[in-house]
Copies of this chain bind each other. A is one copy, B any other.
Amino acid sequence: MIRMALVGAGFIGSVHAANLASHPGVDLIGIHDVDDSRALELASRTGTTALGSDDVFDPSNVDAVLIASSTDTHATHLRRAAATGLATLCEKPIDLDLDHAVEVVGDVGHTGLPMMVDFNRRFDRDYAEVARTVRSGEIGGVELVQMTTRGPALPPLDYIAVSGGQMRDQTVHFFDLARWITGEDPVSVFAAGSVFTDPRMTDLGDVDTSVVTLRMPSGALVQIDSARRIGYGYDERIEVLGSTGLVEAGRHQVGSVTRYRAGQIVGDGMHAGWFERVAPTYRAALDHFVSAVETGTPIGPALPEALKAQAIAEAATRSLRTGELEPIGYPVPTSAV
């Protein structure tokens, strides 16, 4: 049983709150938010209490903290958790600015604390099974990977404006998965993108539809397509071609009902949005975190690994701009402390 506090009472904070409250291995100490009333409201709904920021980072009451506040506060909270010796599960990204993120990771790294970025896709049942299959050797050596990430609607433009762009915001999950599944760090990236939804996306220097090619040291090739607005719901998938077989994590439909009519067979549709699709991963990621903290086993994507996914997104963003193949450099975080 570990004592945990939650920072952030927005939408994703409320998801974490429910998981923390019902987790048999977690004693949810309380919830903090910059907006007190929001913290109070969520705390009462989950049968816990609202906390001031000092209480969250009080090691005498708290063993671990889950950071689900706004992106620009992640770095500060990570430093504070490290300073007070708390294990940390942090929403991605560490910081939108890669240099700053590298600095933070360097600075907190010496603590040896379990600190993990919540790249929740790793905890998707199907992706985990794909990774397990690849590692088992069942499909031989990895030669080609296809990934698809497509959402139902363009997020609000003010979100887009601070999101860092499609590579850093959406595709980054699949950069992490590509590394995790293949066990390799890509050496170069080519990205091409277009705007089909709203011409203001172009003004923001962003794209809504893109394709990415990664080259791995082994020669394995990875293709990722990302789309912000598709007409048929939410869709993400992965297939990995190995030298002796293929493993695929296929589409998720909302149900298993099929209607047979003259000339057509109609199945249930896709999930309405990303949350419906990946909801169980938050709980699974928490399971992993709690178990790693309790048993001292290695933690999911630890901060330095999360940095690597960010570094790929950085190079992919560059390629979108230059139209050229871009090499990927991986920063080495070093402690300034």
Chain A residues within 8 Å of B, Cβ to Cβ = 18, 22, 24, 45, 47, 125-126, 129-130, 133, 138-141, 143-144, 146, 148, 150, 190, 192-196, 209-211, 213, 215, 219-221, 223, 225, 227, 229-233, 235, 241-270, 323-325
Contacts and interface: CB of A to CB of B under 8 A. Distances in A.
B261 A257 contact: no
B221 A223 contact: no
A240 to B, nearest CB: 10
Contacts of A254: 125
Given A138-B259, A259-B245, A144 B270 contact: no
Contacts of A18: 22
Contacts of A243: 196, 229, 231
Best-surrounded residue of A190, A193, A250, A323 (most CB of chain B within 10 A): A190
Contacts of A221: 192-194, 209-211, 225
A199 to B, nearest CB: 12
Given A150-B241, A196-B219, A265-B266, A144 B227 contact: yes
A144 B225 contact: yes
A245 B225 contact: no
B194 A143 contact: yes
Given A223-B225, A231-B246, 14 more contacts: A126-B255, A133-B259, A143-B209, A190-B190, A190-B192, A230-B241, A232-B262, A244-B261, A245-B262, A247-B258, A260-B269, A265-B266, A265-B267, A324-B325
Contact of A245 (B141, B190, B231, B267): B231
Given A143-B196, A192-B213, A211-B144, A265 B241 contact: no
A233 B129 CA distance: 19
Contacts of A265: 232, 253, 266-270
Nearest to A242: B231
Nearest to A132: B257
B139 A259 contact: yes
Identical chains bound together, number:
4
Contacts of A262: 231-233, 244-245, 269
B260 A248 contact: yes
29 contacts: A24-B45, A126-B257, A139-B259, A140-B231, A141-B196, A143-B194, A143-B209, A144-B225, A146-B146, A190-B192, A194-B219, A194-B220, A209-B221, A211-B223, A225-B241, A230-B245, A230-B246, A231-B242, A232-B246, A232-B262, A235-B246, A245-B262, A246-B259, A247-B259, A249-B255, A250-B256, A260-B270, A266-B266, A267-B267
Nearest to A129: B257
Contact of A260 (B45, B47, B245, B324): B245
Given A196-B141, A265-B270, A324-B325, A255 B22 contact: no
A265 B219 CA distance: 26
Contacts of A325: 190, 323-325
